[in-house]
Amino acid sequence: MRLDLLIRGALLVDGTGAPPRTADVGVAGGRFAVLPAGSGADARETLDAAGLAVAPGFIDVHTHSDGIALLGGDRELVRAPVLAGVTAEICGNCGSGLFPALPGRVPELRAEASVGFGGDVGFWEDFAGFAAAHAAVPRANHLASLVGHGTLRAGVLGSVDRPATPAELATMCSLLDRSLAQGAAGLSTGLIYTPGTYADTDEVVALARVAARHGKPYVTHLRDEMSRVEEALEEAVEIARRSGAALHVSHHKTAGKYAWGRTERTLPRLARLRAEGFDVTCDVYPYTAASTHLSAMLPPWASDGGTAALTARLADPGQRDRMRAAIAEGVPGWENTVGNGGWDRIAIARAPRHPHTEGRTVAELASAHGRDPFDVAADLLLAERGEVMIISHSMVEDDVRRVLAAPYAMIGSDGVPKPGGRPHPRWAGTFPRVLGRYTRDLGLLDLATAVRKMTGLAAERFGLAGRGTIADGAHADLVVFDPATVGDGATFAEPLLPPKGVHTVVVAGQVVVRQGEETAARPGKVLTP
Ligand SMILES: [Zn+2]
């Protein structure tokens, strides 16, 4: 048999966690053939990979890349994860996506999505519509999507602060059921974000039961990752227990000065649950800074009714004073990021009409003009019509390391690719950073374990059959990198700089990165676990 591609003499890190060994890896018809080293197999293209490692392509289990490929044009953003070895992205996280909705709500949701995803990206009634739109856009790597609960809720009730009626909840369950049947990968929530935060535990249990029926996970950005993170984790455990769904905790962290060190309690809790047979996993990104919307710094009632209602309130001095007081005093059940840290930890990442603010903290901007930081944030949000991204320097390194080292933690970038601005470097840097800094330099993980967290573990959790390991007959998504030099190039100042040491990336048997440069191949598909 003549192979399409032979990777000769590489250190094979196969994604199962097994010790690396030297082997030849062949690719034919989009599938792997593992051969003994020195096989001498015949191939159309041969890569002499002595001294390099070959691993399954990385699966980024946590992205917000729902819209970027549909916007078109921004190759630098679309290319960044591919250059880092990511061969599949899972979007629709944190309760937020581009489907589903009742048909009558699609125009309203499309307008909200245009704010959230940085341009008119479209909006669909179900996963099939979303998948068809993506399938029509050539892409280098694969994409899978969760069903976002916040989007689903807005797609039935609108962005309103009230419980769902039984009829509305039944409609939500049926829309979710349809999208999961069409191939969406699970249910996600973002319980700090509006409108997801307006839902009580029972509502999420009812939806998670639908995911459980499909054998798909309940994936959650907890209701609080700061001072009340343990209570929020228990809510997630309750939802999984009552619904029967597997639990996946998104970007696990214990952030803000009142929760630093709390992973010493949350991780043993998760380990005990697993020891009891409870199916729980998590993901993590290798940075002490988070990134989100500036509007998430405001109390939930500020966004009741959607973006137009938020900007109307920001323009009203009385409503502003209520928000200022809520941040100073807290609101029961609300994760108050600024109250847990301060405006000096919040840097502007993206404000398209005010680029001079990007990279500076709200506290810096305020003191430069002798103003109250809350007013600076409120004015900026108003002038940007509700859409400003921030970077929040809210974590400590010890917590990040403890989560990375947990055996059930996989890697997810939480990247939020939107045109312009100065985004968090995690979109481009996460995977090479784990391999370089945390594996080679700090020795926190061995190479086989690090690769498993990026591949096999992720494929198992999200039902990506035939992916995540290098084995005979598996889908030929792979990355060749140099363990001695691999590392992140992206920084907070230059967040899209390419990584070091990532040599070749193959998707569906086609070379999409050769010697660190993107090729013209676009074999990526929408995956339907
Ligand atoms: Zn999130």
Say what the pLDDT of residue 480 is: 98
What distance in angstroms lies between residue 412's CA and the mean position of ligand 1's atoms? Answer: 11
CATH number at residue 445: 3.20.20.140
Say what the pLDDT of residue 106 is: 97
pLDDT over 70 percentage in the chain: 100
Rounded to the nearest 5°, which phi and psi values hold at 451?
-65, -40
What distance in angstroms lies between residue 193's CA and the mean position of ligand 1's atoms? Answer: 9
* Claim to verify: residue 166 and residue 254 sit in the same structural domain: yes
- For residue 463, the Cα-to-chain-centroid distance in whole angstroms is 17
What distance in angstroms lies between residue 250's CA and the mean position of ligand 1's atoms? Answer: 6
* Claim to verify: residue 166 and residue 262 sit in the same structural domain: yes
What distance in angstroms lies between residue 414's CA and the mean position of ligand 1's atoms? Answer: 7
What distance in angstroms lies between residue 52's CA and the mean position of ligand 1's atoms? Answer: 34
* Claim to verify: residue 214 and residue 88 sit in the same structural domain: yes
Q: Quick one: 168 exposed, middle or buried, by C-beta within 10 A (0-12, 13-18, 19+)?
A: middle
What distance in angstroms lies between residue 249's CA and the mean position of ligand 1's atoms? Answer: 10
Report how far residue 87's alpha carbon sits from residue 14's, in angstroms, rounded to the nearest whole number.
Answer: 15
What distance in angstroms lies between residue 120's CA and the mean position of ligand 1's atoms? Answer: 22
The pLDDT of residue 72 is above 90: no
* Claim to verify: residue 247 and residue 373 sit in the same structural domain: no
- The angle formed by the CA atoms of residues 426, 431 and 437, to the nearest 5 degrees, is 90
What distance in angstroms lies between residue 208's CA and the mean position of ligand 1's atoms? Answer: 18
What distance in angstroms lies between residue 288's CA and the mean position of ligand 1's atoms? Answer: 14
The pLDDT of residue 399 is above 90: yes
For range 118-137, the mean pLDDT: 96
Domain membership of residue 36 (yes or no) is: no
| Residues contacting residue 368 through CB under 8 Å, at least 6 positions apart | none
For range 454-470, the mean pLDDT: 98
What distance in angstroms lies between residue 252's CA and the mean position of ligand 1's atoms? Answer: 9
| Residues contacting residue 227 through CB under 8 Å, at least 6 positions apart | 256, 258, 259, 340
The pLDDT of residue 1 is above 80: no
pLDDT over 90 percentage in the chain: 95
What distance in angstroms lies between residue 469's CA and the mean position of ligand 1's atoms? Answer: 27
Q: pLDDT digit string (tens) for 497-528?
A: 999 999 999 999 999 999 999 999 999 999 99
Contact 370, 413 (CB under 8 A): no
Domain membership of residue 473 (yes or no) is: no
Contact 454, 411 (CB under 8 A): yes
The pLDDT of residue 162 is above 90: yes
What distance in angstroms lies between residue 104's CA and the mean position of ligand 1's atoms? Answer: 28
Q: pLDDT digit string (tens) for 338-355?
A: 988 899 999 999 999 999
What distance in angstroms lies between residue 139's CA and the mean position of ligand 1's atoms? Answer: 24
* Claim to verify: residue 245 and residue 384 sit in the same structural domain: no
* Claim to verify: residue 190 and residue 234 sit in the same structural domain: yes
| Boundary-marking domain end, from 464, 482, 517 | 464
* Claim to verify: residue 364 and residue 444 sit in the same structural domain: no
Contact 214, 317 (CB under 8 A): no
What distance in angstroms lies between residue 392's CA and the mean position of ligand 1's atoms? Answer: 13
What distance in angstroms lies between residue 395's CA and the mean position of ligand 1's atoms? Answer: 14
What distance in angstroms lies between residue 46's CA and the mean position of ligand 1's atoms? Answer: 41
Please tell me the total count of domains within the chain: 2
What distance in angstroms lies between residue 184's CA and the mean position of ligand 1's atoms? Answer: 18
Domain membership of residue 185 (yes or no) is: yes
Domain membership of residue 30 (yes or no) is: no
| Residues contacting residue 91 through CB under 8 Å, at least 6 positions apart | 63, 64, 65, 66, 97, 143, 144, 145, 146
Mean per-residue pLDDT over the chain, rounded = 96
* Claim to verify: residue 429 and residue 382 sit in the same structural domain: no
What distance in angstroms lies between residue 321's CA and the mean position of ligand 1's atoms? Answer: 28
Domain membership of residue 455 (yes or no) is: yes
Q: pLDDT digit string (tens) for 52-61?
A: 999 999 999 9
Say what the pLDDT of residue 256 is: 93
User: Predicted confidence band at 471 (pLDDT cuts at 50, 70, 90)?
Assistant: very high
Say what the pLDDT of residue 333 is: 85
For range 187-201, the mean pLDDT: 97
Domain membership of residue 257 (yes or no) is: yes
For range 35-51, the mean pLDDT: 94
Domain membership of residue 321 (yes or no) is: yes
What distance in angstroms lies between residue 366's CA and the mean position of ligand 1's atoms? Answer: 27
CA 319 to each of CA 16, 327, 378, 387, 442: distance values in angstroms, whole numbers, following the listed order: 54, 13, 11, 19, 49
What distance in angstroms lies between residue 221's CA and the mean position of ligand 1's atoms? Answer: 5
Which residue segment(s) compose the domain that 441 sits in? 58-292+394-464
| Boundary-marking domain end, from 388, 411, 432 | 388
Q: pLDDT digit string (tens) for 217-273?
A: 999 999 999 999 999 999 999 999 999 999 999 999 999 999 999 999 999 999 999
What distance in angstroms lies between residue 94's CA and the mean position of ligand 1's atoms? Answer: 4
**Ranges 302-306, 454-458, 461-465: which has the least confidence:** 302-306
Say what the pLDDT of residue 339 is: 87
What distance in angstroms lies between residue 96's CA and the mean position of ligand 1's atoms? Answer: 9
What distance in angstroms lies between residue 468's CA and the mean position of ligand 1's atoms? Answer: 23
Say what the pLDDT of residue 247 is: 98
What distance in angstroms lies between residue 222's CA and the mean position of ligand 1's atoms? Answer: 8
* Claim to verify: residue 89 and residue 232 sit in the same structural domain: yes
User: Predicted confidence band at 376 (pLDDT cuts at 50, 70, 90)?
Assistant: very high
| Boundary-marking domain end, from 353, 388, 423 | 388
Say what the pLDDT of residue 269 is: 98
What distance in angstroms lies between residue 417's CA and the mean position of ligand 1's atoms? Answer: 14
Contact 31, 473 (CB under 8 A): yes
What distance in angstroms lies between residue 11's CA and the mean position of ligand 1's atoms? Answer: 35
What distance in angstroms lies between residue 236's CA and the mean position of ligand 1's atoms? Answer: 14
Q: pLDDT digit string (tens) for 32-42?
A: 999 999 998 99
What distance in angstroms lies between residue 285's CA and the mean position of ligand 1's atoms? Answer: 11
Say what the pLDDT of residue 525 is: 98
Say which residue the tokens 């193959």 belong to. 506
What distance in angstroms lies between residue 369's CA and the mean position of ligand 1's atoms? Answer: 32
Report how far residue 47's alpha carbon sits from residue 35's, in angstroms, rounded to the nearest whole number.
Answer: 14
Say what the pLDDT of residue 115 is: 87
